[in-house]
Structure 1
Amino acid sequence: MTIEAFEDGDERLCFQATRLDSDEAWVYQLREARPVPDSWTGTPSADAVLPGEALATVMAYDPEVGSVPCVYVGPGQAVTVTSMRVFLDRVAQHLDEVVSGDSG
């Protein structure tokens, strides 16, 4: 699983990529980024973020499966164009890495 945080204005978000072996797919999610608990202060993970509520999801099946990647946005969710662009650019970059064998 990969989690990367980024900021859009005053909003902190994260990109999460998860491999689903049983479904021969990658699930990419744009999520709210939540701060770690205060108890993590002074640890190597003190600057990490925890993934919060999913705002958008991309299901991308392996090329052999043949399904085209699709974007799903949760009911009542609003995502800025800037955040969606960053998210989809990161999804495209990760998919390129998967196809070339640089990620997994």
Structure 2
Amino acid sequence: DSLSADKAYSSRGNRRALRARRIPHDIPEKDDQKANRTRKGSRGGRPPTFRPQRYRQRNTIERLMNRRKQFRAVATRYDKLACRYRATVQIADILIWLRAKPDRPKP
């Protein structure tokens, strides 16, 4: 497991906090940060590790979360108990899955 985030979260402090907790992360480096690092030369340090394949996979999760937000009960969390909210999310996921599933097989 790893954390994937946008360039907005690529600050040194965020990366340092993730490293301190030993959380692997895939955060692209901002262009200005990259330019500053290369301008400093060897004093700029190593470039942060970045795996573009893992970063692209986060799009799938983002689309799922956006589909979940279409359900009012999931987006606003009307349920007080966590177990009921989890059940609501599971029902929403089932409905999303049923909508995505084709009705007839393709030839």
TM-score (norm 2): 0.30
Q: Point out the structure with max Rg over C-alpha.
A: 2
TM norm structure 1: 0.31
| Higher relative helix content | 2
- Indicate the structure with greater strand content: 1
